[in-house]
Structure formats: C-alpha cells, structure tokens
Amino acid sequence: MMDKVLYIIDDHEARQNTTYKPFIELAKIDSERTKLIHSTNQISINDILKNTACVCIHESMPNGIDRNGNGFDFGKLKQELKNKLIPKVLFSNAANQLTVLNLPSQLTMKSDDFYMNLSYFVQAFQNDGIIDLELLALGKNYNREKIIRLKNEMLAYFEGFERDEPMSMSVEDRINFKNLLEQFGELIHEPLVDVTFRVLNGKKLTKLSFEQTLHEIIKFVR
C-alpha cells in the first residue's frame, strides 16, 4: 500500500485555494503520495487504476479528454473502481446531504465534511499506508462517533420491548448482537459480552438497564 497513490479529483480548484485551503494545508499533502487533480487532461483512467489506493471524486466533475487525448468517462471510472474493489469517495455539497458509509469500499459525503476531515485521512494514508474511510467519514472524534453508532445499533434490538421489559432474541439476533458488543468492547478496552449475555440469559436485560450502562461508559470517552 505504501507505493500506492491517493487521488483527490475536484474541478473546483478556486474553492480549494480559498474556502478549503486551511484544511488542505493542515493535511500536509505529499505530492508523490496524494495527488490533487482538477482536470481530466492531467490523468487517465488507466493511470489511476494501475496505482491507486483510493479515489475521491467531486460529483460535479464532468467527463472530458484525458492526458493522451482519449475520452475520460467518470461513469466508467466508478464502475472499474467497483469491479476492482478499490475504495472510492464521492463528495458534493449539492448531491450528498448525508454521510453514507458502505464498508469496505464506498463513502459519500458533503464536500464541507470531506475537506474538514481530510487531514486525518491523508495523514493515516501517508504515514501508515492505511485507507480508513471511517476516519474520513467521522473525523477527529472518530472513536467516539463509532462508539455512539454501535450503541444505537445495539439499542435497535430492544425495539418492540417496553423500557423495563426483559428482552429476548432469536439465535441470529444473538450472534449479531454479540458481534456489536465485541466491537464496542474493543473500542472502550473493556469486554462486555460475558456480563451482558449472563443478564440476557437470566431474562433480566432491559433497554433501561442496558442504556444506562452504555451511557455511563460513553460519557467518559473523548
């Protein structure tokens, strides 16, 4: 991964040099590892596909002519990235009002959020060769935001039960719930699976008690 390139393709060069300039400067972009592309004639689809770790594309980028005089079709590029399981990020203030993360290889988000979180993402790539789409999606409060997301996913299993009513789960739900608990425990460095399942198996796990437990943990996470 360390010999791969991160491409950021955005036709709004003027906006990069004004509105988003502080965020780009903060990213400390190494031009050999991270390339800012403003026009299709700077690159070709083949150039990108042969050496990219991830491609970030502004959704307003128009099709054009590549550096070799051939057609450059962003629809084709996006399909090739999908076929090759190469991570891609689509950003736009107009088209993407919500951040939607489909791991392991696709993220859509607002341009403002993309550039605001860019420095953490770029540095993780340039320093360690890591493409961390969650870090780009969630920004500097990455761990806390991920913990809150996992909390909400776990609490969804209590839907249909009163807040103080002991809940039960199917075998499939128990497997998925356990997986979420394990992910949560890894982030807070505290195992929760055994104690939670003892309460669940004892028919004493309620939304109220579980929510209180999670709240006491999360309030100390920064």
pLDDT value at position 146?
Answer: 79
Q: Do 7 and 45 contact (CB within 8 A), yes or no?
A: no
Token pair in block for residue 215: 């709240």
Distance CA 55, CA 23 (A): 18
pLDDT (0 to 100) of residue 222? 56
53-57, 190-194, 217-221: lowest mean pLDDT where? Answer: 217-221
pLDDT at 130: 94
Backbone angles phi, psi at 135, to 5 degrees: -65, -40
Q: Identify the CATH class of 5-131.
A: alpha beta
Confidence (pLDDT) at 143: 73
Q: Domain residue spans in the chain?
A: 5-131, 144-218
Would you state the pLDDT for residue 147? 85
Note the pLDDT of residue 95: 81
Q: Which of 115, 139, 108 is nearest to 25 (CA)?
A: 115
Q: For 108-133, how does the pLDDT look when each residue is reduced to its tens digit (9 = 90+)?
A: 999 999 999 999 899 999 999 999 99
Mean of per-residue pLDDT scores for the chain: 91
pLDDT for the residue numbered 208: 93
pTM (global) more than 0.95: no
